[in-house]
A = this chain, B = another copy of it.
Amino acid sequence: MARKTGSHSDITGPRVRAAALKLFAAHGFAAVSMRQIAAEVGVQAGALYLYTPDKQSLLFDLMRDHMQDVLNAWAAEEKPEGPVKELEAFSRFHIRFHLGRPEEVFISYMELRNLEPDNFEALGAMRRTYEGVLEDILTRGQDEGLFDVDDVKLTTLALIAMLNGVTSWYKPDGRLSLARVEAIYSDMAGKSVRMPRWKERQRKAEATQIA
């Protein structure tokens, strides 16, 4: 029976998660104690266990929810037609989404090794799903002769690494606006995989020659 007034559980619960997010991102999962999290919330350590079964779950829930958010947000995104524009849309989406959640991103890529095996596997599956989106775009672009990609899997990982790197230096009040960063990254991503014009011409020339 949920209380209406005076019930703190609706408030404290999210605050616990917010505190954990902030502290894990700043100092690392292993370096943060339950007492520090409790202090950030303004509560005693024991009270945390009303909102999480243990410290590990606190970490995993943050990571899982974040990955789910990414996947949902991409699913809701409007997709343009053709691999070239899709790649640009993906790059822009990735940069925009990740810059809006620097702490979640940081945790999701830094604390993987602190997950227990089952949780690690579950999160790995979600990550592979997301990478699959990019891999699919590259594959179709390659098939249509629009991209010149040596190895799709490797290129996928290289691009994701590049795009993720943005979170390690971007400051909202920095020199470059979000829009500019978004543009530069998506441009670099596009250029790094697109079929060069001379190669395209050569390909067409060979095709007509054979025919």
Q: Interface of A with B (CB < 8 Å)?
A: 26-28, 30-31, 110, 113-114, 150-151, 154-155, 157-162, 164-166, 168-169, 176, 180-181, 183-185, 187-189, 191-194, 196-198
Complexed CA–CA distance, A28 and B28 (Å): 9
- Neighbouring B residues of A191 by C-beta, 8 Å: 191-194, 196
A28 touches B30 (CB 8 A): yes
Copies of this chain, complex-wide, total 2
Which residue of B110, B168, B197 is within 8 Å of A197 (Cβ)?
A: B197
> Hey, which chain B residues are within 8 Å of A194, CB to CB?
191
A-B contact pairs, 27 of them (CB 8 A): A26-B113, A27-B113, A28-B28, A28-B30, A28-B114, A31-B114, A110-B110, A151-B176, A154-B176, A154-B184, A157-B165, A157-B168, A157-B169, A158-B162, A158-B166, A158-B185, A161-B164, A161-B165, A162-B162, A165-B165, A189-B192, A191-B191, A191-B192, A191-B196, A196-B196, A196-B197, A197-B198
Give bound CA distance, A156 to B189, whole Å.
Answer: 14
In the complex, A30→B111 CA distance in Å? 12
CB–CB A159/B157 < 8 A: no
Q: State whether B161 touches A159 (Cβ < 8 A).
A: no
* Chain B residues whose C-beta falls within 8 Å of the C-beta of A26 in the assembled complex: 113
In angstroms, how far is the closest chain B Cβ from the Cβ of A159?
A: 7
* With A28-B30, A162-B159, A165-B160 as contacts: A193 and B188 at CB distance below 8 Å: yes
Given contacts A31-B114, A161-B161, contact A155 B184 (CB under 8 A): yes
